Amino acid sequence: MTEWWQDMFEIVHQEKTSGARVGKLTTHHQVVDTPAFMPVATKATVKTLTPQEIREMGTQAIISNAFHLYLSPGHELINEAGGLHKFMDWDGAIFTDSGGFQILRKEFKFKQNNQGISYVNSRDGKRYMYTPEMCMEIQGALGSDVAMVLDDCPPWGSTRDEVRDSVCRTLNWGQRSLDARCNDNQLVFAILQGGTYPDMRDVCARKLVDIGFDGYGIGGLSIGEPKEVMHETIRLNLTQIPPDKPRYLMGVGSPVELLESISLGVDIFDSAFPTRNARHQTVMTRHGQMDLRRSSQARDFRPIDGECGCYTCRHFSRAYIYHLFKESELLAMRLASIHNVHFLQDIMRQARVAIIEDRFIEFKDWFKQQYLSK
Amino acid sequence: MTEWWQDMFEIVHQEKTSGARVGKLTTHHQVVDTPAFMPVATKATVKTLTPQEIREMGTQAIISNAFHLYLSPGHELINEAGGLHKFMDWDGAIFTDSGGFQILRKEFKFKQNNQGISYVNSRDGKRYMYTPEMCMEIQGALGSDVAMVLDDCPPWGSTRDEVRDSVCRTLNWGQRSLDARCNDNQLVFAILQGGTYPDMRDVCARKLVDIGFDGYGIGGLSIGEPKEVMHETIRLNLTQIPPDKPRYLMGVGSPVELLESISLGVDIFDSAFPTRNARHQTVMTRHGQMDLRRSSQARDFRPIDGECGCYTCRHFSRAYIYHLFKESELLAMRLASIHNVHFLQDIMRQARVAIIEDRFIEFKDWFKQQYLSK
């Protein structure tokens, strides 16, 4: 029996001198060119932007959040609306994160056990259970193109014993998530955990690969650990994921980290980095990050980045955006968000071309030299 | 000597059975079809919207504010940027209000005398003077297409004596503003004051018309007075403004008020009504205003207005926008603002067609019946 999703990932080109590869991930709504960067739309909106704008920046996939949409407005409501794509008017690919990571906030007073994660809903102050089965039912109802399994993400600094327990839960929940698959148009990706203990990572990855998923997310990174440890862990996990499966590094979005990870063989990324930074007045340029609050921008009539082709850079000066931020005008956040997401998507476009032309390492080093030069 | 601006207003059609007329106001940047509605861009931005969006809604003119831009970022800076059009990337017409109305806020601790208006700048706590000459210099430097003279707006409820003094200042400042005209590409409009005392209105209007301006703003209305008083005052002022000059009713923007005023012969309007309401979750529909906070919207999958062709109504449901507002997502304000401004511009388009076809009163009555039916 060959289901459509068994051929859903095609590697178009593998670079000769690095792990970097260009691929095509076929989802129900959209073929996604990889390496791909997904802007974050936790609550069914990429903050401040319309789907039209996100599309114009070259975005093919976004990631929303099952747990947050379950809390509000509810997956049944979105299902009734015709699914998440229709609800938010996005016709590209949608990944939904399970919420295993997003539930780990003090406000939810979360507690894990083998059954799932219990949490307190602030609306009624009552404690509820969030299970792998629910998580898949929610994602099925949302109609996302890729569902992520419920995982248990141990905080940075957890002990071996804590991480061992966490891996057991992640494996158990991974299997149960797959068993609870309920939407034929949806791919299911596992999430690799194991903290930063190589043997735990190894066990977790091998066992999840044994179960067999449509793709693999590398989770639990970029949460406080040193960069070298993060890179080592990515490297290790990449040796364990079958090369013909899509590899998704979760929560990483700074330009240099994207390029480093692509060179190791990562295919998919998501991060709130570009949009969150934009709302906090920080934008990216070829020559590094720029703080739009600096008063030197007040009379700077150049665009954010002279080489950038985004709507913001084609039409507005740093001085104008500085003025808007100073006056707390919402357009400021929009213009900065447009630029930042466009900037990252532009890097991804360039990365894909460079891989095809077997000069990705050269491109990465050139970009890094410029970006880190200041 | 015939300057270009002496022929800058052309009446295309005067309706037979009402005062309504269709005209063309030629400004340096744009021929504006009247009756026209101007969204407010006080601080060089129509709140939450890009110039591209404002243009797509059929907007030909916006109004910004000389006093606010003088305070921040400063008219010299905007002049250095290439003028206000370039600074904010708007290639249509720009009116600039003088600030005579906007300065009347407690925070400015304003005091009028014959020289001008003194106010306290909160940045340094010092008292400054704002004069007609400054006001024209600022607007000249901004490069707006239409400058409004500095006026003195008496609050609703002022005594005859107070209004008499105010009219004296408005006349004095009007003449001085005209004398201080410094930008050949800029039209200069007077502002008619006189509170709601017909004789004061009469004196103020006649004397300003004697001085002779490119157009006339009707000021000091919609600030608390009863509707009938407002309509009476508009009616009176309209008999005093020469019919071949553009008539601009300042600060009025609700659909019914627009149509009523058009029927009396008003050509131009501005108001923060559509954008401010949008940010406060109130949108307009053919069948009246709608509060998007009402929980009945939560599962309403219809667009705000099924007959509306705006981006918001073509792509999103009330349920989605309700969700965005509930989650304090900024996209909510954008989508509601797009709808509201589009809705008003649509009314203006329909009004112009109805006037040309000599059926404006019919259109107005039909619209009012629908709009006020709930």
Give the pair of three-digit tokens for residue B157. Answer: 């409820």
Tell me the residue length of chain B: 374
**Is the pLDDT assigned to residue A270 strictly greater than 80?**
yes
| Per-residue pLDDT tens over the stretch B146-203 | 999 999 999 999 999 999 999 999 999 999 999 999 999 999 999 999 999 999 999 9
Give the pair of three-digit tokens for residue B298. Answer: 């939560």
pTM above 0.90, yes or no: yes
| Per-residue pLDDT tens over the stretch A122-167 | 999 999 999 999 999 999 999 999 999 999 999 999 999 999 999 9
Q: How far apart are CA A113 and CA B186, in angstroms?
A: 72
Res. B334 pLDDT band, cuts 50 70 90: very high
Q: What's the complex ipTM? A: 0.96
Q: Which alpha helices (DSSP H) does chain B contain, by range?
A: 51-56, 66-71, 75-80, 84-88, 132-142, 160-179, 198-211, 227-240, 255-264, 273-279, 311-315, 318-326, 330-356, 360-371
Q: How far apart are CA A322 and CA A317, in angstroms?
A: 9
CB atoms within 10 A of CB B227: 11
Q: Which long-range contacts (CB under 8 A, 24 or more apart) does B174-179 make?
A: B174/B132, B174/B149, B174/B208, B174/B211, B174/B213, B175/B211, B176/B131, B176/B132, B176/B133, B177/B98, B177/B132, B177/B133, B177/B135, B177/B136, B177/B147, B177/B149, B177/B150, B178/B149, B178/B211, B178/B213
Res. A7 pLDDT band, cuts 50 70 90: confident
Give the pLDDT mean for B6-28.
94
Arithmetic mean of pLDDT over chain B: 96
Q: What is the pLDDT of residue A5?
A: 56
- Cβ pair B72:A316 closer than 8 A: no
Arithmetic mean of pLDDT over chain A: 96
- Cβ pair A81:B311 closer than 8 A: no
Give the pLDDT mean for B233-256.
97
Using CB atoms, which residue from A48, A311, A317 is nearest to B331? A48
Burial of A124 (0-12, 13-18, 19+ CB in 10 A): exposed
Q: How far apart are CA B195 and CA A167, in angstroms?
A: 76
| Per-residue pLDDT tens over the stretch A307-326 | 999 999 999 999 999 999 99
Give the residue from chain B lying closest to A322, CA to CA.
B73
Q: Which domains does chain A have, with CATH numbers?
A: 4-271 (3.20.20.105), 282-371 (no CATH)
* Radius of gyration over every alpha carbon of chain B, rounded to an integer in angstroms: 20
Q: Which long-range contacts (CB under 8 A, 24 or more apart) does A306-312 make?
A: A308/A339, A308/A342, A308/A343, A308/A346, A309/A342, A309/A346, A310/A57, A310/A338, A310/A339, A310/A342, A310/A343, A311/A53, A311/A56, A311/A335, A311/A338, A311/A342, A311/B50, A311/B52, A312/A336, A312/A338, A312/A339, A312/A342
Using CB atoms, which residue from A45, A52, A77 is nearest to B329? A45
Res. B5 pLDDT band, cuts 50 70 90: low
Say which amino acid occupies B116.
G
The distance of B298 to chain A (nearest Cα, Å) reads 8
Q: What is the pLDDT of residue A229?
A: 95
The distance of B279 to chain A (nearest Cα, Å) reads 11
Q: What is the pLDDT of residue A120?
A: 96
Measured between beta carbons, the chain B residues lying within 8 angstroms of A49 are 331
**Is A97 a known active-site residue?**
yes
Q: What is the pLDDT of residue A3?
A: 60
**Is the pLDDT assigned to residue B7 strictly greater than 90?**
no
Residues 6+ apart with CB under 8 A from B81: A301, A317, A319, A320, B87
| Per-residue pLDDT tens over the stretch B285-316 | 999 999 999 999 999 999 999 999 999 999 99
**Is the pLDDT assigned to residue A2 strictly greater than 50?**
no
The distance of A72 to chain B (nearest Cα, Å) reads 8
Res. A360 pLDDT band, cuts 50 70 90: very high
In the block, tokens 């949009």 appear at A275
* Radius of gyration over every alpha carbon of chain A, rounded to an integer in angstroms: 20
**Is B244 a known active-site residue?**
no
Measured between beta carbons, the chain B residues lying within 8 angstroms of A48 are 330-331, 334
Measured between beta carbons, the chain B residues lying within 8 angstroms of A276 are none
* Proportion of chain B above pLDDT 90, given as a percent: 95
